[in-house]
Amino acid sequence: MSTDPLIGYSHLHATGIRTFNLLISFSEGANETVVGISKLVDLTVIKSNIAGDDLRALTEFREVTLPALISHPHTASAFVIATGDEAIRASDVIGELLAKNSTTEYLMISNGVNQEAAIKIAVSGATDLSTQSLPGLGEIASPSVIVGYENEPVALTDLVAQFQARGISPILRQFSANFDQDLRTWMLEGTHAIVAFTPRDEYPVGTVMTPVINVSSNSDFHAHFQGDFDLASTDPTERIVEELLGLISRVRTFSEYTKTVLPIFPSSRVVADPTKPIGLLVCNEALTSLAEDIRDHFDEVQLLPMTQEGRSLIRSKELVLAITTGAASEIEFISMASTNFQVMNLSERGSLAALAEATAQEISMHK
């Protein structure tokens, strides 16, 4: 097997296989500004679900999540937006972040500041920062990959040996009962990629920062989505290694291509909006991007997260469409809602495009 050096994007602090210029909300109060900026400049947006007065959550964000994002090998630059009234001031954090990635900056949007003017200033600052951080090419000194599984794959020993022979360090992890949270946690470890032997009752998803190669099982549920997996359970270990090397050559995974990735944070808090009579209940966070695209085409649609809070708002809507992958846990959640709603099931529609089209048709018929 070839042992030629692996070439990636050389950022100022690390060499990765992706280049992301991050736009990060320091608290949920900055989300509106961040969304406004993202409409004008192409950045990787990370919205927050942390209230500005939640000292415990902000402290964890400051000490764990934010440093991990800033120092991730795929991060070229990071522009942090704060409101200024958070329990922790962003200005007190910036020095710590600069030590991890020198192409990091923040902007504080104080109360009373014109939102349009603030967005223009932020766009200029974020653009300058991303220009400063343009990467070169360099050798990946210590390529690493997390291999995650529910039950140990038969060929795991062979796969580990093949990765090691290629100079790639495999890190073995076992999925817990919380598949989504495991992927979020592993993403923050800063490996170059994740190989997920996807649990038999889970839909294949990716993460915002770390590409995920999803390998299907032989379950009946996975049989509905064979085209949504990067590899099948019957593929030899050599194919997994080839797939990883393809990522380093900028080949995208299915979840990257379709944006079926888990947000950094679970769904933010939501309040009833009587001007939006149609609710779109998002039963799997991997479908968030698809749901947002649908919402952006229909002014009367409000997204409802798969939380007790989201479910409590169902009764206030004239029509509720529940978009789901068809996983048992999602169907169980839907069945707990006692109202008139329609289930839009990906496993029955066959593809994300068909699911989006059917959902849009239902909304149009209600107008």
Q: pLDDT digits over 45-70, tens only?
A: 999 999 999 999 999 999 999 999 99
Q: How far is the C-alpha of 263 from the C-alpha of 70, rounded, in Å? A: 16
pLDDT tens-digit profile of 117-146?
888 888 998 999 988 888 899 999 889 999
Report helix, strand and coil shares of the chain as percent, to nearest 5: 40, 20, 40
How high is the pLDDT of residue 184? Answer: 95
CA angle centred on 220, ends 216 and 303, rounded to 5°: 80
Rounded mean pLDDT of 322-349? 82
Q: Which two tokens stand for residue 304?
A: 């409802």
- Determine which helix (DSSP H) or strand (DSSP E) holds 262, and give its type and residue range: strand 261-262
105 Cβ neighbours under 8 A, 6+ residues apart: 77, 78, 79, 80, 94, 125, 126, 129
Which segments within 29-116 are labelled E, that is strand? 44-46, 75-82, 104-108
Q: Do 20-134 and 142-261 agree at the fold level?
A: yes
DSSP H/E element including 144? strand 144-149
Tell me if 260 sits within 8 A of 287, measured CB to CB.
yes
Taking Cα atoms as reference points, which of 16, 291, 246, 54 lies closest to residue 138? 16
What pLDDT is recorded for position 318? 86
Provide the pLDDT for residue 101.
Answer: 87
In terms of DSSP bridges, do strands 75-82 and 20-25 run parallel, antiparallel, or are they unpaired? parallel
The CATH number given to 142-261 is 3.40.50.2300
Hey, what CATH class is 20-134 in? alpha beta
Query: What are the b/e assignments for 199-213, b being 16+ CB within 10 Å?
Result: beebbbbbbbbbbbb
Contact in structure between 213 and 170 (CB atoms under 8 Å): no
SS3 (DSSP) at 109: coil
Q: Is residue 284 pLDDT above 80, yes or no?
A: yes
> DSSP secondary-structure letter at 310?
H
Fold of 278-366: Rossmann fold (3.40.50)
pTM comes to 0.91
What's the pLDDT score for residue 269?
64
Mean pLDDT of 111-121: 79
Q: Where are the domains of the chain?
A: 20-134, 142-261, 278-366
